[in-house]
Structure 1
Amino acid sequence: MDQQLVSCYRHPDRETGISCTRCDRPICPECMVNASVGFQCRECVGREARARVQPRTVAGGTVAADPVLITKILIGLNIAVFLLELRLGDRLLRDLGLYAACGTDVTGQQVCVGVAHGPDDWYRVLTSAFVHERAFPPAHILFNMLSLWWIGAPLERLLGRSRYLALYLVSALAGSAAVLLLAPDVNTIGASGAIFGLFGATAIFMRRLRYDMRPILALLVLNIIFSFTWSGISWQGHAGGLIGGTLIAVGLAYAPRDRRTLVQWGTCAAVLVASVVVSAIAVAQVTS
């Protein structure tokens, strides 16, 4: 007996005697995909491909089509803010920079500025990491963006987007916490705290992967020396970012595989909470 012909589920005008071995829907030659047994429709093949385990980075993140996209976006944001500074002048430095101070006005009343002014100004602990000096030549932003590309891009490949972004932002907050604790009355700006967090993380992962650590350690030592010898550089922000980034990287690099996600994000959350608590204590000291 001849097999009864039916219409393809995607092309009703085409008759076929073949069905998908997975969903049993009739498929024409255009819709057929060879399988180990028989043929499958393109939808079933697509679902199977999506269900497969995706490749992961060293830290367990998802491998992205553009593995350095976040680094590019961060550099773009910093440059965009810098161009806005050139347009608006010192006003942007005052509005986005990090500082906390209190004093008395002519009437004897206490007046607080910066983060000490109140919750509405706490945005500064993060926005200060995207503001740079307007000096010419623009060495501040140029050096930071080159460092962000050289250090950040390889690190983003290792971590994946979400872990890398968390490392960067929480390192910036850790740097701000150190500034508020040790030098709250100085208007502090720049991405250096976050970049020092990337330095610390790079050292941890080079150690974890058993790479030659001498180049990154030499570069880190040079940057630490510059932090303490060059005038106008916030060594407090550098130190805070370095400590925060290093602690996060330890959790990212050495988390046990069976609890990796929990330990990694738990470490990020712990450093984030610690940074907020230290910042709050520092501001309370300023306002007391």
Structure 2
Amino acid sequence: MTERSGQAGDATGGPVPTTPVCYRHPDRETYVRCTRCDRPICPECMRDASVGHQCPECVNEGRRSVRPARTAFGGGAAGREGYVTKTLIALNVLVMVLSLASARSGTAVAGGSGLGGLLGDSTPLTRWGGVLGYASYVPFGPAHGVAAGEWYRLVTAMFLHFGLVHLLLNMWALWVLGRSLESVLGPLRFLALYLIAGIGGNVAVYLFSAPNQTSAGASTAIFGLFAAIFVIMRRLGRDTSAIVPILVINLIFTFTVPRISVAGHLGGLAVGALMALVLAYAPRMRRTMFQAAGGAILVVALLGLVLVRTGMLLG
């Protein structure tokens, strides 16, 4: 019942007019009605609408019938908050802290042989999780590496760094590139791009680097983001003139600075470009299915290359 009932008569003997009450709070009188269902609602139950007010049930029903906002590439609007980018940075920083805690020398932060001593030395954690083809830690010791079954290295390596300078350079690039890409791709598509590009770069290290060399760093994924932002911006019809010089500078550093993984950077760049093409040019009608299938094909192709390389090292 939404109105009070009564049988008392007025001076003329007719029924006394009743005052409407809120359908959710029968003890509260009100003359305001929901513009959608016409039920009386009190001030506590009023929800602002484009015209008048609505009751809570009608507001919830309207939300269920409205499709959530999507980006131009099918991603969720939550990507504008950059949650994945921030989480990836926090994870890299946490792993850096753990790596330094595992170190047995004072050169883990800086003082290594890379970038004129700015990079740090390896730590037990980088030796455990960096990309390593097939080698032993000590002479005549057991073999470690991807060929020895430690496939996890193809993932963990993108979260490990040699010293603070290495970490800061990569995290700055991730902060700049990640927020832009996550906002236009959405969180899940951006995360898929990052991980597949990072794995692609690490697979390239496994394929083309010496089996006894250890490589680590988020730069495999970062170079994938460089390629992706160029592809995405071109797809959106935006100016890419500012991106090309930055990419060229990074490639120059890749080829000229000692102890930088050329294979890792170029591999991440190539795989990131391929994944970005899948995300950007998927047909609109079956976009999600096409994007998921394209990403899966890339992963399967990378795993196939790992199997081929493993056979070569063990053969």
TM-score (norm 1): 0.86
| 1:125 paired to 2:158 | no
Look at both structures and tell me which one has the larger radius of gyration over its CA atoms.
2
1:239: which partner in 2? 266
Distance 2:187 2:57 in 1: 29
C-alpha change, 1:32 and 1:150, in structure 2 (3 Å) is closer
Deviations 1:161-197 (A, max 9, x none): 1110110001111111111111143111000110011
| 1:185 paired to 2:188 | no
Tell me if structure 2 keeps the 8 A contact 1:59–1:252: yes
Classify the secondary structure of the residue corresponding to 1:64: helix
2:143: which partner in 1? 112
For the aligned residues, what is the CA RMSD? 2.8
1:287: which partner in 2? 314
Distance 1:40 1:149 in 2: 42
Q: Which has the higher contact order (CA 8 A, sep 6+)?
A: 1
Distance 1:2 1:21 in 2: 27
Distance 1:236 1:37 in 2: 60
Distance 2:305 2:16 in 1: 81
2:96: which partner in 1? 82
- How many residues are paired up? 280
Deviation at 1:243, TM superposition (A): 1.0
1:264: which partner in 2? 291
Deviations 1:250-273 (A, max 9, x none): 111111211211222222111122
Deviation at 1:48, TM superposition (A): 0.5
- Where does 1:149-164 land on structure 2 (aligned, <5 Å)? 149-164=175-190
2:61: which partner in 1? 47
Deviation at 1:209, TM superposition (A): 2.1
AA at the equivalent of 2:156:
T
Higher helix share: 1
Classify the secondary structure of the residue corresponding to 1:162: helix
- Where does 1:97-108 land on structure 2 (aligned, <5 Å)? 97-101=130-134
Classify the secondary structure of the residue corresponding to 2:162: coil
2:167: which partner in 1? 141
Q: Percent identity?
A: 45
1:212: which partner in 2? 239
Deviation at 1:37, TM superposition (A): 8.7
Q: Which range moves more in the overlay, 13-22 or 51-60?
A: 13-22
Tell me if structure 2 keeps the 8 A contact 1:7–1:13: yes
Deviation at 1:219, TM superposition (A): 1.3
Tell me if structure 1 keeps the 8 A contact 2:224–2:268: yes
TM-score (norm 2): 0.79
Distance 1:70 1:174 in 2: 20
Tell me if structure 2 keeps the 8 A contact 1:67–1:160: no
| 1:201 paired to 2:225 | no
Classify the secondary structure of the residue corresponding to 2:81: coil
Classify the secondary structure of the residue corresponding to 2:238: coil
